[in-house]
Amino acid sequence: MQLYYAPHTISIAVAIALEEAELEYEPVKVDFARKEQATPAYQQINPKGRVPALVVDGGILTETGALLEFIADRAEHAQLRPSDPVLAARTREVMFYLASTMHVNHAHKMRGARWASNPESFKDMARKVPETMTASCDYISNWGLRGPFVLGDTVCLADCYLFVICTWLEGDGVDVARFPKIAAFMAAMEARDSVKAVRARNML
């Protein structure tokens, strides 16, 4: 498998899950500084001009949540998505929230041009990010984390996803000290071999 990624982006959630599942992959860096994601060559890989993209036998897959689910299916031994239907849905509940709300809140800091044309509007959207990301942290802290991790004591797909988004919090103006459960989650994830491996590869 080849993972198209850019450092510090949501694509690293996929790298962490691949490491958790002990699946081999070749990381392929997309150079955002040179806007490589917008080139016709990269858009052959992902027509949306985003990372991640995962090249697998049978095609190219995009969307973080879909890739994480693919990894869970490829590596059932890793138990990254429980077979119990309620716990599987709980895993997806958090992932869908991250994809549809928390990641989108974060994107308003740098990517205002997706939603407006007037540069003043970009500034207004960016000013709102500390507030919306703090509201997301309230939700994650009170409801998303059922224990040290999303499902309690064991790591699932949603933890890989949440961890990367939490690495953005300080830069988004969130006072992380207000959220001791999130700080403890971050420390627990940092201690895992999966996160150490992606840090060793300078992906995070």
List of residues contacting ligand GSH (CB under 6 A): 9-10, 37, 49-52, 62-64, 99, 111
Shortest gap between Cβ of 114 and ligand GSH (angstroms)?
Answer: 7
Shortest gap between Cβ of 170 and ligand GSH (angstroms)?
Answer: 16
Shortest gap between Cβ of 85 and ligand GSH (angstroms)?
Answer: 24
Name which of 68 and 155 has its Cβ closer to ligand GSH: 68
Residue with tokens 């994107």: 107
Residue 138: CB atoms within 10 A of its CB come to 13
Name which of 4 and 185 has its Cβ closer to ligand GSH: 4
Shortest gap between Cβ of 23 and ligand GSH (angstroms)?
Answer: 18
Question: Which of these, 42, 45, 158, 143, lies nearest to 98 by C-alpha position?
Answer: 158
Name which of 62 and 101 has its Cβ closer to ligand GSH: 62
Crossing angle between the packed helical segments 157-166 and 85-97, to the nearest 10 degrees: 20
Name which of 149 and 161 has its Cβ closer to ligand GSH: 161
Name which of 64 and 194 has its Cβ closer to ligand GSH: 64
Shortest gap between Cβ of 77 and ligand GSH (angstroms)?
Answer: 25
Shortest gap between Cβ of 195 and ligand GSH (angstroms)?
Answer: 17
Helices (H), the chain: 11-20, 40-45, 64-74, 85-97, 103-110, 119-139, 157-166, 180-190, 193-200
Name which of 32 and 85 has its Cβ closer to ligand GSH: 32
> What number of CA atoms fall less than 13 Å from residue 43's CA on the CB side?
7
Residue 168 backbone phi and psi in degrees, to 5:
-90, -10
**Residue 49: both structure tokens together:** 């001009």
Angle at 185 between CA 192 and CA 91, to 5 degrees: 90
Residue 6: CB atoms within 10 A of its CB come to 19
